[in-house]
Amino acid sequence: MEQRNKSRVISRLRRALDEIPGLKKNRSDNRAFEKWKRNTKVAIEYAFEYNPDRVKEFTRINYGISPEIGDIDVFYPSYKAGLERVEGLLESMIEEVDEYWPDDEVSTSVPVRHPVEPITSNKVFLIHGRDEGTRETIARFLEQLKIEPVILTEQASQGRTIIEKFERHAQVVEYAIALLTPDDAGSLGGGTAASRPRARQNVIFELGFFSGSLGRKRVIALAKGGVEIPSDYSGVVYIALDDSDGWKLKLITELKAAGFHVDANRAL
């Protein structure tokens, strides 16, 4: 039987793993848990179609609740213990795939996700520089739309280098928003040209990374204060962060076009 794409399998299993902390906080409604359990089972079946024992390892775990019992709080110790066993199981599966599966074939072109794939996650990677005020404004706006902003500085490092941490969290999102804020200044070499406001180098790097990995249809740039737009990105439509908040409706339009289900009435 043909083995699955390694990077895709790791991404799906990590997504299931990343949702567990949120489930542990859920003590009243088991609908989110049942949805997660089914999606995780499907992900494991997809990954280990050739080895049904992996699915059995997952389905044998007991959480002390059933779909007919809606109050998780009553059975919380068993529920939490079951989720913790799944955490260890998923971590082991990810290590197995990463360690023992052959690497995906390297393509000469940049891997881009198929543009018709539906959005399956509500997480959006928020690329930012030093402008914390703008970052918080956009993050809170996304939360009002029931979209979870992934902000790298707020994630646990767990002994990783910065690039390892970035790669780890970049795999769990299907959309990225880049905040091009005038944090730096630069000009052509030689010292003859006047400097212009520029975004931080990490912002430009991450903008390019996601443009390649997700495709430009799933990346939007929000520019502020006459910041210089990278020459390779010139011509691509971006959203100006204006003081009149006109950017909000434009961003909602882009998110809807990408496949997010958002209600403008929540934030406008």
* Domain at 193, CATH number: 3.40.50.10140
Last residue of a domain, one of 100, 134, 151: 100
Asked whether residue 236 falls in the same domain as residue 148, the answer is yes
Q: Are residues 56 and 94 in the same domain?
A: yes
> Nearest 5 degrees, angle CA 198-CA 203-CA 207?
115
Q: Are residues 171 and 243 in the same domain?
A: yes
Q: At residue 44, does pLDDT exceed 90?
A: yes
pLDDT at residue 107 is higher than 50: no
Q: How far apart are CA 1 and CA 104, in angstroms?
A: 16
Residue 206 CB coordination number (10 Å) = 21
Assess if residue 108 is contained within a domain.
no
Please indicate, yes or no, if residue 92 is contained in any of the structural domains: yes
Whether residue 155 is found in the same domain as residue 51:
no
> Is the confidence at residue 80, as pLDDT, over 90?
no
Residues 93 and 148 in one domain: no
> What residues form DSSP beta bridges with 198?
184
> Residue 12 is part of which domain span?
6-100
93, 137: one domain: no
Distance between CA atoms of residues 235 and 176, nearest Å: 19
Q: Which two tokens stand for residue 177?
A: 């928003």
Q: In terms of domains, do 140 and 177 share one?
A: yes
**146: in domain:** yes
Q: Do both 128 and 252 map to the same domain? A: yes
Number of domains in the chain: 2
Give the pLDDT score at 1. 44
- Is residue 185 situated within a structural domain? yes
With respect to residue 261, please indicate whether it lies within any of the assigned structural domains: yes
206 occurs within a structural domain: yes
pLDDT at 223 over 60: yes
| pLDDT digit string, tens, across residues 126-139 | 999 999 999 999 99
pLDDT band at 206 (very low <50, low <70, confident <90, very high): very high
Residue 226 φ/ψ region, left for φ over 0, alpha for ψ in the -120 to 50 degree band, beta for the rest = left
Q: Are residues 152 and 248 in the same domain?
A: yes
